[in-house]
Structure 1
Amino acid sequence: MSLKILGLKQFIKQVEKATDGGLKREFGLWLEGLGMDFLGLIQDEIIRTETVDTRRLLNSFNRGDSEGIWSISEGGLTLEIGTRLAYASYANDGHFQQKRFVPGYWRGDRFVYEPGASTGMMLREKWVEGSHYWDNALAIFERIFQRSLERRMQQWLDTEF
């Protein structure tokens, strides 16, 4: 008993030709574009959830920022995005605020932090709820990634075969 699949050898040759470096390069560029999209989603969620007003956290999710993490490897199709800011996870997950004095002054209803100021405010110990900006952005990205991968694979198949 035998089974013959017509066109299988031709198909295998086309796959080998297509994957001879070109496909990895194409998918590396596609992955890089998705990484940029994810950075945008994180920034949008930081703004939407009003996580910070100093812009330090927001700016750390930029490609090329010294406090951001951005790495991509074409061959293994790996993309790593993050931030080196220690308080980023506290802002996302929540944390206990310790009782402490914060130097600065009030300008209307807004507190302005000023190191070394003789005035300021006393923070009390309490739980500060996280904004879940990262979790929200990741949930959105997962949906986008799935659709984008399906479209990209279909485009590749349509082009190559």
Structure 2
Amino acid sequence: MSIKSLEKWNRSLLKASSGEFTRQASGWLEQSGEDFLDLVREELIHSGGIDTENLLSSFRKGARDHVWIIENGGLTLEIGTNVEYASFINDGHWTVSEENVRWVPGYFQGSRFIYDPSASTGMALKKQWISGNGFWDKALLLYETIFARSLDKRFSKWLNTLGGDIG
């Protein structure tokens, strides 16, 4: 190894240790989160299991009911939604828990029921199991593959930029 290459390697290490690597990793992690949310929205639309935009729009960074936490130093990304019925759509649910009938406020537009908590009209639901569509699970499965490939590619790129022409 030449001295010039060693000096270049040392400068690269100093740059990485000054926070450059963490900044780049943080940016990549944030983009990865955005990519995952895109997949979640695509799977939700593909499943056909939504009647309103509330759940769909909650899977955006900065949305009212979103969960988006990044811890820069530890490179933690936590994403999701605070929309309370999201797990019901993903996992499935019983329409009624204990009772035999549950009242749901809202109104009909043609054959489509629109949930409206302030409505004086509505419908009575009898107890039955509604199967989930697994939109989150499907998006996560797809993303695990994409994320692994992206991490390998990004890590190789970081190592190449860090190492330069050592040899």
1:146 and 2:144 matched: no
Structure with the bigger RCO (C-alpha within 8 Å, sep 6+) is 2
Distance 1:105 1:65, change over 3 A: closer
| SS at 1:131 equivalent | coil
State the 1:112 CA deviation. 3.1
Deviation digits for residues 55-100 of structure 1 (CA, Å, limit 9, x no counterpart) = 1111111111121010112211110101111111111111111122
- Distance in 2, matches of 1:45 and 1:128, equals 18
Indicate the residue corresponding to 2:119 in structure 1.
116
Q: Deviations over 1:130-153 (max 9, x none)?
A: 111110111111011000001101
Q: Distance in 2 between matches of 1:159 and 1:39?
A: 29
Instruction: Write the distance in 2 (CA, Å) between the matches of 1:56 and 1:104.
Output: 16
Residue identity in the other structure for 1:16:
L
1:19 to 16, 21, 27: 16
Q: TM-score, normalised by structure 2?
A: 0.82
1:57 aligns with 2:55: yes
| Counterparts of 1:105 and 1:68, CA distance in 2 | 27
Q: Per-residue deviation at 1:124?
A: 1.2
Deviations 1:9-40 (A, max 9, x none): x4974663243110010000000000100111
For residues 46 and 113 of structure 2, the distance between their equivalents in structure 1, rounded to whole angstroms, comes to 21
The residue that corresponds to 2:86 in the other structure is 88
TM-score (norm 1): 0.85
Deviation (angstroms), 1:154: 1.2
The answer to whether residue 65 in structure 2 is matched with residue 67 in structure 1 is yes
Query: Which 5+ residue runs of structure 1 have no aligned equivalent?
Result: 1-5
- Cα distance in 2 between the residues matched to 1:63 and 1:36: 7
Q: Which residue of 1 aligns with 2:160?
A: 158
Q: Which amino acid aligns with 2:13?
A: E
For residue 66 of structure 1, give the secondary structure of its aligned residue in structure 2: coil
Residues 44 and 56, structure 2, Cα contact 8 Å, conserved in 1: yes
Please point out which of 21, 42, 45 is paired with 2:43: 45
